[in-house]
Amino acid sequence: MSDLNRNYASPFGRVAGRADAATVDAGLRAYMLRIYNYMSIGLAITGLAALGVYMASVTGDPAAGVFKFGNAYLTQFGYAMFVSPLKWLFILAPLVMVFAISAGINRLAPSTAQILFWVFSALMGVSLSSIFLVYTHTSIVRVFFITAATFGALSLYGYTTKRDMTGMGSFLFMGLIGIVLASLVNLFLASSMLQFIVSVIGVFVFAGLTAWDTQRLKNEYIYGYASAGGDIAERAAITGALSLYLNFINLFTLLLQLLGQRD
C-alpha cells in the first residue's frame, strides 16, 4: 500500500483525495472485519435454520411419520418442506431475494439491508436443510470445516497477494455461467458423470471467486470507500458479505457433493 499517500481516481467517479496510509490501513481492516462478521453471522443463521427445519421435519417414530424419505420418516411439516410442491418455493426464494437485494441495495437504509441479509440467510438455510436427509451428519460437519479452512486460505491470499487478479473476473464469470447452464441441463439428463464434472469445475471457479472477490472488496475500499464512509460504506460491507457468503455456500455444497458420505 505504498501508493496510499497519493491522489486516487475512484472507480465511482470521485477523487478519493490524499489520505494518510495508516488511517486507510486501519479503516480497511475495520471494513474487512465488518464484512467477515456479517458473513459469519449469515452462515450461523443459515446453519441454525437448516438444522431447525430438519429437526421439525423428521421423527424417529414410524407411526408418527406420514412419509418415508430414504431412512427417515417425515412429519407432516417435513412432507410439505421436502416432498410437496411447496418445496420449490423455498428452493427458489433465496435466488429471487439475492437478486432483489443486489438490485435495490443503493436505495435501502443499512439497517434494512442488514435485515434482508439475515432473512436471505435464513431462507438459504431452509433450502439447504435437505442435506441432512441425504448426507451423514458427520460428513456434513467434516466438509464444513474443510470448506472453512479452504475459504479462509483463499480469502487470505486474495487480501495479501500483490498480483492483480482483475483479469480473472471475466474468466471466472464465464465459468460460473457454464456451471449454471450445465446444472440446468443435468436436471433433465440426471447424469452422475456430468454432475461430478460440474462439481469439480465449480470448486475451482468458486475458489477463484473467493480470492478475486476479497481483492475486489479491498480495492473498492481503498479507491472508493475510504473517503466515503457512512451509509455508503455500510451498504458496501453488506453486499461484500453477501458475495463472500455466496462463495462459501456454493463451495460447501460442491465439496459436499464430492466428499460427502450419503446416508
Supply the pLDDT for residue 152.
97
Q: What is the pLDDT of residues 123-166, one digit of tens each?
A: 999 999 999 999 999 999 999 999 999 999 999 999 999 999 98
Supply the pLDDT for residue 147.
98
Q: At what angle do helices 110-128 and 21-57 cross, to 10 degrees?
A: 40
Q: Is it the case that residue 9 has pLDDT exceeding 70?
A: no
Neighbours of 207 (CB within 10 A): 20
User: pTM for the full model?
Assistant: 0.88
DSSP string computed for 201-241: HHHHHHHHHHHHHHHHHHHHIIIIITTT-HHHHHHHHHHHH
Q: What is the pLDDT of residues 170-184, one digit of tens each?
A: 899 999 999 989 988
Would you say the C-alpha torsion 226, 231, 235, 237 has a positive or negative sign?
positive
Q: What is the pLDDT of residues 221-235, one digit of tens each?
A: 988 776 666 788 899
Contact 93, 123 (CB under 8 A): yes
Supply the pLDDT for residue 16.
42
Strand-pairing partners, residue 9, are: 15
Over range 201-205, report the average pLDDT: 96
pLDDT band at 22 (very low <50, low <70, confident <90, very high): confident
Q: Three-state SS for 11?
A: coil
Extract the C-alpha cell encoding 256.
459436499
83 compared with 16, residue with greater pLDDT: 83
CA distance linking residue 116 with residue 180, whole number of Å: 25
Contact 56, 78 (CB under 8 A): yes
Amino acid 199 reads S
Q: Is it the case that residue 8 has pLDDT exceeding 60?
A: no
Long-range CB pairs of 145-151, under 8 A, 24+ apart, other chains included: 146/255, 146/259, 147/248, 147/251, 147/252, 147/255, 148/248, 150/207, 150/251, 150/255, 151/210, 151/247, 151/248, 151/251
